[in-house]
Homo-oligomer: A and B are copies of this chain.
Amino acid sequence: MPEYLKLKSLSDAKKIFWENLSQLHPVEEEIESRAALNRVTFGDILSTESLPPFTRSTVDGYAVIASSTHGASDALPVYLDLVGEVAMGAEAQIKLEGQQTALIHTGGMLPEGADAVVMMEQTQKTDGTSIEVLRPVSAGENIVLKGEDVKPGDVVIPAGTPMRPAEIGGLLGLGITSVKVAKKPRVAILSSGDEVIPPENAPMIGQVRDINSDSLASLVAEAGGSPQVFPIMPDDREKINATLKKAYRSADVVIVTAGSSASTRDMTAEVFDSLGKPGVLVHGINIKPGKPTILAVCDGKPLVGLPGNPVSALVIANLIVKPLIQRMLGLAHHRFQPVIEARLTVNLPSQAGRDEYFPVRIFRRQNHCTADPIFYKSNLIFSLVRADGMVHIPPEKTGVPAGETVEVILF
C-alpha cells in the first residue's frame, strides 16, 4: 500500500487520539496560593466569606448620613458636627446621627448610621468641631458595601482557570492561602539516533548535537507540564525498548523523537504497541512538516513519536503535545485567546489534501499586519528562531495568494 494512503489527516489523527484519551482527567494537588501563578484551578473555588468584609470608604473624606448633605453648594454649604475620626484597622466606634460626621480614610470602616462619604476635596474645615460640605452626596456614594465584591458561596474562580496576578490576589484577599490545582503532567522526553550526541560534546564528522530534548522540554514547561529528559538512545531495539518502558512507567506522557531513519520509527511504533492497549493509533500524518508522527494510547497513557528533525518536532509539539498537556491540566478556555490576522507578502503554494504550516515573521503596517514566510528546509532550527508564528494552509486549499489575509498561530 503506498504510504500516502496510510497517512491520516491532522484532524482525523487528533480526533482518534482524543477519543482514546477520554478517561484522561486532571489530578489534583494542593499548593500555596502565592506560588500558584499560571497553575490551573482543579475545581471551582468558592468563597467562604464576604469581600469586602465590612462596608468601607473608597475615598479620604467624611462619613455622613447622605440626607444631611441635601442642597449643599459652594454658596450655601451644609455645616456638620465633627464627632471624631475612624481609626484604620479597627472597628468604627462612632455612631452617627442627624448632622454628625466623622473623618474617614480610604478603606476605613463606615461608622454605624452613616451611608455615604463626602470626598475631602468637597469639604472645608472650619474650627475643628465642624466642617462645611460643598456638594451633596447620595446614599451609597464613595463607599463599597460589605459583600459587594464577593458573597459566601460565590464561585470566585471556576475550575480550569489559569491563575494570573489578579486571581492570586483574590484568593489571598479571601484568606484562601492554599489552593487545589491540576498537578503538572510528568512528560518523559526521549531522543534517539546513532548520530545524535549531547550538546555538551564536540561532534565528530557525521554527528549532530541533540536539539530536541531541550527545545521540547522548554515547550512542555511553557505549556504547564513537568519535563523529564532521558539520555539519548542509540538506534538499537533493546536500548529503545528498555528506555521507553522505564519512561512509560515513570511518566504521564511519553514523547520520543523517533530517530531519523524509518527503521527506528518503526521500532518506536512496535515498542509503543507492546506497552498496552490499544497501542499505535496513528502512524504518519498528512501534514508538512511533521509527516512521520506517531500517536499511541497504551492503557490510557498517551505516547507521541515526533519526527527527528527539530523544526518538525516543534511544530507537531505545538499542534499536539501542547493541547494534550492543557487537556491534562483541565484547562477550560475561560481566557480570551487572541487571533492574529495578517496579509501574506508572497504566494504560498501548498499540496492539496495536506495540512501545511509555514513559519512567518509578522510586521505591523499602518492598518494591518503582514506575514512574511520564512522558507526553509526542515532541519533548520534557526528558521523557527526567526519566526513569530506559523500560517496554516488547510488540506482543501492548493495555496494562498499574496495579499490574502491569513490567521497566524504565535509560537
Q: Which residues of A contact B (CB under 8 A)?
A: 2-3, 33-34, 37-38, 51-54, 56, 58, 60, 87-92, 105-109, 120-121, 144, 148-150, 156-157, 164-170, 172-175, 177, 193-197, 199-200, 202-212, 214-219, 221-222, 235, 260-262, 308-310, 314, 317, 335-336, 338-340, 361-364, 369, 377-385, 387-389, 410-411
Contact = CB atoms under 8 A, between A and B. Distances in A.
Which 8 residue pairs across A and B have the least CB separation, nearest first?
A169-B215, A89-B195, A107-B260, A166-B384, A172-B199, A89-B194, A165-B218, A105-B261
Nearest to A235: B88
A164 to B, nearest CB: 6
6 contacts: A34-B199, A88-B194, A170-B381, A170-B382, A336-B361, A336-B363
Given A170-B382, A215-B166, A194 B87 contact: yes
Contacts of A338: 338, 340, 410
Nearest to A384: B166
Contacts of A212: 169
Given A33-B214, A410-B338, A165 B219 contact: yes
Contact of A172 (B194, B211, B369): B211
Query: Which residue, A120, A205, A361, has most C-beta atoms of chain B within 10 A?
Result: A205
Q: How many copies does the complex hold?
A: 2
Contacts of A203: 53, 175
A351 B173 CA distance: 30
A336 B308 contact: no
A335 B37 CA distance: 23
B377 A148 contact: yes
Given A166-B381, A195-B107, A260-B106, A209 B172 contact: yes
A91 B308 contact: no
Contact of A208 (B3, B53, B195, B199): B53
Nearest to A121: B3
